[in-house]
């Protein structure tokens, strides 16, 4: 073929076919036609797909599989209005299917749809475009896309469309959008409330329901609620509520009203227009549970302000609410409890509920299975019993405390929090508290103390503060493992919770065992950190710290280096030396189990006696103890013989480890008896202190001249005791060569045993001393001074001498001198 012939073949033919009827019997064929360049074919293909898709989800999925979405998503922007309209019809129907909707998100079709929402566009396009958006807007990503592509303004305009389908679809999309805060704000700014209110007049119930549904959502926003009231929205709702022909709208209308009456302005509106009376009528006369419960919820919202509660009380709302607690419908009873909770902030209403038998009725609701009802009932009891002992007693008489203890195990955090609050309110009365404790309340509180819900923790700790004032309760809390989670709450930065935790620790620290246990879990270190923080410290944290130290004198002495005259040393006290800031102080049991080291020994106090053996010969014949009279009576535990030790090593270990016990100290027991016999009978207070000082000095190696202090072998003696006992803990009664710190501790211990008053103060370099207050002058001649003087008792150099505090002699006794001490 020549070039000329070839060129003629390539030239397009200007002739066209006569109209050719096309019949597509399979979906695949019709989908192929969507790619046709001929508009007539596109119109018919889109129409056919719309008809096919309307028949069911199976057909929609079939079209999805054949690839119909991509060409349809392009055809909605076609220049031909008819093609565009039919494409939207097909796409809108298909988008109702979940799989189609998910696939459609990949084609970025939302901007194209929004572009066709202008008022100039065909109404049918509006209908199916909004139908498509209604399906897509349930997805969060699509909601963001619609908002970002400025879809809200045209949708608000379409609310005024003459076509009810367009109205219905548009408000459906807007409802989905306003679930997000930014869209609610935008709706208010774009004046979207008036067209929504107009839809309340629609002849189509579905549109009215959607309008109320959206108003209920947007009126949760304060600014939108204000705009709603400014547009006479409240009045329009009251018109609906007054129309018995619109009873199907009453429940939803009441839900919107509930959002609008919580503040004083809303209350004024409802009171001015007789709305409150209308609400009461709904509560009393309605036989529809949903309407009745919605009306009661409105009353609960109205009761948020004190002025409203006063007015409701004047209308005897309490009587109505108590009657509702016996309603058949669970929702009505729950709403009734919520209203009771709100009205309980009015003092007179609290008494009314009790007098009307409302409290037993609320308690009875705790026996049900419905979780929401239990939550509402426990909240009502919490408010009713707050600062009201008569109501608390009424709950107790109704057996409510038994059920509330069981509710502490509930799965709903709000129910647990409310139950703990109610029990705390009731526990202020001793009879009720004892009964609550007998029902296992302490054990039940352990799990709430581990909760991640802040309100549960706040209420549980406050409840514990009330219950743990009982000694047995504190012991039970310790055995139940409740002290560790309580101490862990000191890590919180929530102010109220931290305050409550400190209060609970303050109460639990009343007993030494619980105080020691809490220190074991790091309570002191955490409280030290809190009290050093400007933002976290409070009077509560300081109080908790003081209580812990006062109930754990060993730790107090290590941390502060001072025991007051009111701090009475008892069995179990030990001096572990001066603690560094932030250092955890180990318990006596932990210290006794450590391997023998080269550090200074821990000095322990224990006056209890068990089987002991005589003092070794080397100690009995010590010349320095020859003049102490009773030294031969002092006793020490027998050191294990080597063959016994070998025998023990060959024997298998006991399957159950014996409980730890303190080392016996019969020598201290002997000293205590001697003090009671020789010091206590003395009539003169000064002579008592002097005699006690001499006895302590004799027991600890006698007087030591200042110049020969460096020759006093107290360090070697203590090392020998540690080796002999094979333990870092040394009973104080075994020390026969004691330094300042040992003598001062023994003096304080013996003085406390017989009721004599003195302090114990730690100095530097193993120094310690005792301070005591004495009146000057002669008692028999009435020459006592009005103010006592502070003295330091000499236990080391001139035993029995009383050195007036602040004098050179006293300062020399307290101060380290290297020539003397080493």
pLDDT in tens, 578-590: 988 777 888 888 8
Contacts 24+ apart (CB under 8 A), 519-522: 519/548, 519/552, 519/555, 519/585, 519/587, 520/587, 521/483, 521/484, 521/487, 521/488, 522/487, 522/584
**DSSP 3-state assignment of 774?**
strand
CB atoms within 10 A of CB 212: 23
pLDDT of residue 650: 40
pLDDT score of 640: 37
Question: How far is 281 from 342, CA to CA, in rounded Å?
Answer: 20
Residue 12 vs residue 797, higher pLDDT: 797
CA dist 284 and 343 (Å) reads 18
Instruction: Identify the pLDDT of residue 375.
Output: 96
* pLDDT higher than 80, residue 215: yes
pLDDT for 644 equals: 43
**DSSP characters for 364-393?**
HHTTSS-HHHHHHHHHHHHHHHTT-HHHHH
Mean pLDDT of 118-137: 92
490 in Cβ contact with 481 (< 8 Å): no
- Stretch among 160-169, 193-202, 256-265 having the lowest mean pLDDT: 256-265
Angle of helix 264-272 versus helix 275-285 axis, rounded to 10:
80
Average pLDDT over residues 199-219: 93
The Cα-based distances of 768 to 197, 303, 730, 811 in angstroms read: 85, 66, 18, 12
* CB of 63 closer than 8 Å to CB of 53: yes
Nearest one of 305, 314, 296, 293 to 269, comparing CA atoms: 305
Distance CA 320, CA 295 (A): 12
Cβ of 101: how many Cβ atoms within 10 Å? 17
Q: Please list the residues that pair with 574 across neighbouring strands.
A: 604
d(CA 740, CA 795): 7
pLDDT at 20 over 70: no
Percent residues over pLDDT 90 in the chain: 58
Q: Is 158 within 8 Å of 130 (Cβ atoms)?
A: yes
Tell me what pLDDT residue 273 has: 64
Going by pLDDT thresholds of 50, 70 and 90, the confidence category of residue 780 is very low
C-beta of residue 458 within 8 angstroms of C-beta of residue 450: no
Q: Does the structure show a pLDDT above 70 at 638?
A: no
Three-class HEC string of 502-529: HHHHHHHCCCHHHHHHHHHCCHHHHHHH
Q: Does residue 600 register a pLDDT over 80?
A: yes
Closest by CA to 714, choosing from 767, 770, 636, is 767
* The token pair that represents 583 in the structure block: 């250092």
How far, in Å, CA of 595 to CA of 727, rounded?
7
pLDDT for 408? 97
Q: What SS3 state is found at 787?
A: coil
Which percentage of the chain shows pLDDT scores above 70? 88
pLDDT of residue 282: 81
Residue 257's pLDDT is what?
86
Mean pLDDT of the chain: 86
Listed residue (445, 386, 379, 390) closest to 418, CA to CA? 379
DSSP 35-99: T-S-HHHHHHHHHHHHHHHTT-HHHHHHHHHTT-HHHHHHHTT-SSHHHHHHHHHHHHHHTTSHH
Neighbours of 231 (CB within 10 A): 16
Please say if the pLDDT value at position 33 is more than 50.
Answer: yes
At residue 733, does pLDDT exceed 90? yes
Q: Residue 616: which pLDDT band, with cuts at 50, 70 and 90?
A: very low
Q: For residue 609, what pLDDT is reported?
A: 62
Average pLDDT rounded to a whole number, residues 549-561 = 90
Residue bearing the bigger pLDDT, 523 or 306:
523
Query: Which has the minimum average pLDDT: 77-81, 206-210, 758-762?
Result: 77-81
Q: Which residues contact 479 (CB under 8 A, 6 or more apart)?
A: none
- In this prediction, residue 605 carries a pLDDT of 94
Which of 81, 93, 87, 91 lies closest to 118 in space, CA to CA?
81
Residue 206's pLDDT band, with cuts at 50, 70 and 90, is very high
State pLDDT tens for residues 269-294: 777 667 777 788 888 888 888 988 98
d(CA 560, CA 558): 6
pLDDT number for residue 239: 85
**pLDDT confidence band for 642 (50 / 70 / 90):** very low
For 613-634, the three-class secondary structure string (H helix, E strand, C coil) is EECCHHHHCCHHHHHHCHHHHC
- Report pLDDT for 13: 55
pLDDT (average), residues 390-395: 97
Task: Band the pLDDT of 817: cuts 50, 70, 90.
Answer: low
% helix, strand, coil for the chain, step of 5: 65, 5, 35
Position 21 pLDDT exceeds 70: no
Residue 535 pLDDT exceeds 90: yes
Q: Which residue has the higher pLDDT, 379 or 288?
A: 379
CB-hemisphere CA count at 13 Å for 595? 2
User: Average pLDDT of 505-520?
Assistant: 91
Whether residue 160 contacts residue 193, with contact meaning beta carbons closer than 8 Å, is answered with no
């Amino acid at each position: 073929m020549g070039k000329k012939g070839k060129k003629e073949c390539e030239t397009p033919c200007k002739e066209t076919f006569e109209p050719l009827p096309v019949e597509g019997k399979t979906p695949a064929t019709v989908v192929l036609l969507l790619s046709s360049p001929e508009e007539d074919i596109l119109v018919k293909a889109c129409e056919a797909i719309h008809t096919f898709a309307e028949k069911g989800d199976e057909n929609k999925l079939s079209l999805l599989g054949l690839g119909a979405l991509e060409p349809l998503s392009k055809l909605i922007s076609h220049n031909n209005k008819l093609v565009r309209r039919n494409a939207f019809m097909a796409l809108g129907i298909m988008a109702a299917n979940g799989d189609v909707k998910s696939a459609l998100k990949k084609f970025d079709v939302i901007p194209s749809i929004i572009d066709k929402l202008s008022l100039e566009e065909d109404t049918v396009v509006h209908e199916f475009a909004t139908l498509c958006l209604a399906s897509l807007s349930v997805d969060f990503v699509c909601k963001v896309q619609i908002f970002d592509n400025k879809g809200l303004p045209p949708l608000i305009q379409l609310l005024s469309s003459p076509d009810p389908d367009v109205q219905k679809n548009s408000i459906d999309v807007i409802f989905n959008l306003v679930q997000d805060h930014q869209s609610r704000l935008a709706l208010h700014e774009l004046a979207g409330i008036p067209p929504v209110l107009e839809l309340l007049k629609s002849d189509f119930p579905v549109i009215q329901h959607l309008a109320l549904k959206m108003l209920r959502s947007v009126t949760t926003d304060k600014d939108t609620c204000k705009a709603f009231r400014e547009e006479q929205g409240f009045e329009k709702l009251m018109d609906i509520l007054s129309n018995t022909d619109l009873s199907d709208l009453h429940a939803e209308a009441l839900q919107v009203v509930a959002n609008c009456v919580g503040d004083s302005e809303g209350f004024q509106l409802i009171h001015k227009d007789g709305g409150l009376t209308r609400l009461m009528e709904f509560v009393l006369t309605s036989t529809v549970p949903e309407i009745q419960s919605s009306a009661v919820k409105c009353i609960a919202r109205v009761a948020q302000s004190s002025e409203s509660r006063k007015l409701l009380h004047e209308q005897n709302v309490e009587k109505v609410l108590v009657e509702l607690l016996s309603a058949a419908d669970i929702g009505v009873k729950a709403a009734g409890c919520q209203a009771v909770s709100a009205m309980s902030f009015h003092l007179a209403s609290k008494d009314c509920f009790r007098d009307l038998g409302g409290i037993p009725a609320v308690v009875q609701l705790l026996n049900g299975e419905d979780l929401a009802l239990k939550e509402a009932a426990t909240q009502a009891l919490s408010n009713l019993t707050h600062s009201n002992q008569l109501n608390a007693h009424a709950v107790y008489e109704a057996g409510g405390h038994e059920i509330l203890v069981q509710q502490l195990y509930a799965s709903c955090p709000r129910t647990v929090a409310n139950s703990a609050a109610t029990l705390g309110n009731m526990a202020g009365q001793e009879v009720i508290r004892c009964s609550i404790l007998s029902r296992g309340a302490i054990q039940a509180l352990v799990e709430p103390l581990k909760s991640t819900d802040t309100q549960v923790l706040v209420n549980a700790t406050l409840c514990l503060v009330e219950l743990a004032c009982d000694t047995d309760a504190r012991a039970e809390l310790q055995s139940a493992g409740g002290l560790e989670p309580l101490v862990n709450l000191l890590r919180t930065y929530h102010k109220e919770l931290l305050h409550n935790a400190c209060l609970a620790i303050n109460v639990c620290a009343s007993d030494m065992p619980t105080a020691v246990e809490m220190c074991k879990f790091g309570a002191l270190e955490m409280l030290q950190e809190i009290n050093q923080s400007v933002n976290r410290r409070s009077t509560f944290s300081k109080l908790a710290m003081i209580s812990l130290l006062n109930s754990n004198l060993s730790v107090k002495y290590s941390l502060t280096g001072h025991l007051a005259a009111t701090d009475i040393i008892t069995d179990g006290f030990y001096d572990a030396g001066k603690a560094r800031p932030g250092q955890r102080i180990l318990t006596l049991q932990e210290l006794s189990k450590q391997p023998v080291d080269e550090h200074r020994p821990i000095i322990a106090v224990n006056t209890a006696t068990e089987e002991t053996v005589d003092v070794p010969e080397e100690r009995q014949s010590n010349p320095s103890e020859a003049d102490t009279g009773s030294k031969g009576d002092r006793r020490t535990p027998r050191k294990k013989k080597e063959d016994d030790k070998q025998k023990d090593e060959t024997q298998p270990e006991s399957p159950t480890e014996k409980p730890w016990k303190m080392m016996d100290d019969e020598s201290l027991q002997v000293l205590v008896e001697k003090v009671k016999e020789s010091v206590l009978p003395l009539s003169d207070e000064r002579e008592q202190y002097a005699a006690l000082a001499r006895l302590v000095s004799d027991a600890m190696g006698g007087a030591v001249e200042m110049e020969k202090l460096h020759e006093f072998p107290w360090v070697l003696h203590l090392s020998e005791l540690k080796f002999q006992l094979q333990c870092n803990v040394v009973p104080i009664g075994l020390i026969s060569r004691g330094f300042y710190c040992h003598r001062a501790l023994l003096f304080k211990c013996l003085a406390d045993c017989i009721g004599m008053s003195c302090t114990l103060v730690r100095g530097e370099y193993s120094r310690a001393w005792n301070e005591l207050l004495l009146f000057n002058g002669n008692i028999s001649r009435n020459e006592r001074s009005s103010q006592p003087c502070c003295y330091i008792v000499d236990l080391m150099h001139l035993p029995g001498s009383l050195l007036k505090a602040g004098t050179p002699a006293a300062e020399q006794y307290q101060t380290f001198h290297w020539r003397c001490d080493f």
